[in-house]
Amino acid sequence: MMAHLMQKTQDTTRERRQRRRVVPIEATERTLVSPFALRQPTGRLIYWLVFTLLLISTLVTLGPLYWMFSGALKSSTEIFQSPPTLWPAHPQWSNYSNAWSVLSFPLYFGNTLILAVGAVLLQIAVSATAAYALSKLRPAGKRVIEFCFFSTLMVPPIVYLIPQFVNISDLPLIHVSLSNSWSGVWLPEAASAFNILVLKSFFDGIPNDLTEAARLDGANAWQVFTRIILPLSGPAMAVITIFTIIASWKDFLWPLLVLADANLQNLAVAIYHEAQPNAFLPFTYLIAGLVLASVPPIILFLIFQRQIIRGINLTGLRG
């Protein structure tokens, strides 16, 4: 009897060891190229070819950024030198401080930040509530509404640029003009069909049992949205927030048309006006201003890249 129990114990221990050995192998095979393929000469060749192509693509993508950063440190003569130098012979770090003061960066940086924050707040207020209504409240004609949202994604934004400007110049029904005001920039950015569909896809993955239990406890639709849906939608909200901030930060054409007052313009429009020939701005100052304008979105992405990737995975898998 003891021998049988010892044999059974040894068999169980052996099975556990085999399982522990199998799990890491299965985990390592969840990659683009399996470990078995990497042991083959053809698999290694394909792997290094793909790695080389990705490395070259990365360098090509980073090339303009490097040229912009290094060009901002060159003198006005060296930046037009042919052949160009890879690194300035005498870095002019003062170009950044001069560009900061000449281009009035504190003013335009603040304007751009205000426009970005306002766009984010409106996106959360409009797109999130619309997605919640389509996902959990299920209004009549839900399929028709979703089809209309998808249809707008097929239309290039430049097509409805003129109708938007006409509406901003004279709002229907109330006949108020939002031209030359931040509200005229915010209003078209308040609703985004893409953001609504992304949030709706994420809200669909939240179990209905949670919302139904909250309703049984006496919560209304708004309380369910603010106390259950929004706290569980952190990754999706992070993606929408980052995308909205970056889109608002680099927006150029619409603020150029709406904001005529120089004190209300954002960085992109201000740098464009300073780049005109009659502005007599040194070219190195202009490039330094472009570098300063590009730094905040890059830092924002580096800080929240994990949340962005996680949110894209969670929302994209249910698309």
How is the chain split into domains, by residue range? Answer: 106-316
Give residues with Cβ within 8 angstroms of 210, minimum separation 6. Answer: 228, 232
Write down the H helix ranges in 40-160: 41-71, 94-102, 105-123, 129-132, 142-153
Tell me which residues of the chain have a pLDDT lower than 70: 1-34, 36-38, 278-279, 307-308, 310-319
228 touches 107 (CB < 8 A): no
pLDDT of residue 3: 47
| Cα Rg of the chain, angstroms | 28
55 touches 71 (CB < 8 A): no
Write down the H helix ranges in the chain: 2-28, 35-38, 41-71, 94-102, 105-123, 129-132, 142-153, 161-169, 182-189, 193-204, 208-216, 221-224, 230-232, 234-249, 253-258, 267-274, 283-316
Find out if CATH 1.10.10.10 is the number for domain 106-316. no
pLDDT of residue 28: 44
Of 207, 199, 201, give the one whose Cα is nearest residue 239. Answer: 199
> What is the C-alpha to C-alpha distance for residues 157 and 163, in angstroms, rounded to an integer?
11
pLDDT of residue 32: 60
Of 248, 263, 110, 267, give the one whose Cα is nearest residue 186. Answer: 248
Amino acid found at 241: T
User: What is the per-residue pLDDT across 241-265, written as a single tens digit (0 to 9) for each?
Assistant: 888 888 888 888 899 989 888 888 8
> What is the C-alpha to C-alpha distance for residues 42 and 37, in angstroms, rounded to an integer?
8
pTM for this predicted structure: 0.76
